Amino acid sequence: MDVILFLIFATIAVVCAINVVVQTHPISSALSLVGVMGSLAVLYLLLGAEFIAAAQVIVYAGAIMVLFIFVIMLLNAGAEVKKGQSTMALFLGVPLLAGLLIVMCWYLQSWFPIGTTVHFGGFQSTAPHTGPLAQSGGSAHEVGIALFTRYLLPFEVTSVLILIAILGAIVLARKEID
């Protein structure tokens, strides 16, 4: 059951991700990205990390992607026109993509022992290979404690980083107005 659900939503995520690149219209691409975010949230939920799943939907699907679509609608961007593709990209791109996928598969294979399958609530119980959070579970309480004790410094650094990004955006916008 867990594996079937995982396969369904993983397939949706991958198909949507490919669709983001294949679609010529920006709105369709953005919507496919929403699909990726949604199926990722389901995968988190499947692992028992319900807080992260909810945060994924609220932050990515609910806020960031709405802004993307808002901007696309505001600029009224039309569909892209396909230009003549270079043969160079085809010749180099396909082998490089295959190589990258092989390296990724090998890496994942060496990381996880053979026979590890997805099971419901894997994030909460004993999963020795998924980092320090694995032992503590995925509820809001555990995530909060981990964020403000063990990961306090990265958390604060991230917030400063976001603050810098906001300041940068304001500076850029002011230049446009002047």
Partner 1 sequence: MDAFIIISLAKILVVFAVLMTTLAYLQWVERKVIAHIQVRPGPYRVGPHGLLQPLADVIKLITKEDLVPPYVNKPLYLLAPFLAITMALLSISVIPFGPSITVAGHTTFMQLTDLNMGVLFVLAVSSLGVYGIALAGWSSNNKYALIGGLRSSAQMISYELPLSLAIAAPLLISNTLSLRELVDKQDGGIWHWNLIHGGQIISFIIFLIAAFAETNRVPFDLPEAENELVAGFHTEYSSMKFASFFMAEYANMITVSCMATLLFLGGWGAPWPAEYGSSLVPAVIFAFAGVVALYHGINAERRRDKKTFPVFGVIFLIIAVVFLLPMVQGWLVPLFWFCAKTGGILFTFMWIRGTLPRFRYDQLMGFTWKFLFPVAVLNLLVTGFVVALLP
Cα dihedral sign, 109-115-117-121: negative
Which one among 70, 107, 111, 148 touches partner 1, defined by CB under 8 A? 70
Q: Which of residues 74-113 bind partner 1 (CB under 8 A)?
A: 74
User: Rounded to an integer, what distance in angstroms lies between the CA atom of residue 48 and that of residue 68?
Assistant: 29
Q: Judged by CB under 8 A, which of 67, 75, 81, 88 binds partner 1? A: 67
Q: Classify the C-alpha dihedral 65-71-73-75 as positive or negative.
A: negative
In this structure, are residues 56 and 1 in contact, taking their beta carbons and an 8 Å threshold? no
CA atoms within 13 A on the CB side of 127: 22
Number of residues that bind partner 1 (CB under 8 A): 20
Using CB under 8 A, which of 3, 58, 94, 161 touches partner 1?
58
Strand, coil or helix: 138: coil
Contact segment (CB under 8 A) with partner 1 among 54-62, 95-103, 105-113, 153-161 equals 54-62
Q: How far apart are CA 138 and CA 64, in angstroms?
A: 23
Among 2, 5, 139, 146, binds partner 1 (CB under 8 A): 139
Closest separation in Å from C-beta 58 to partner 1: 5
Q: Which residues are at the interface with partner 1 (CB under 8 A)? A: 27, 31, 34, 50-51, 54-55, 57-58, 61-63, 66-67, 69-70, 73-74, 139-140
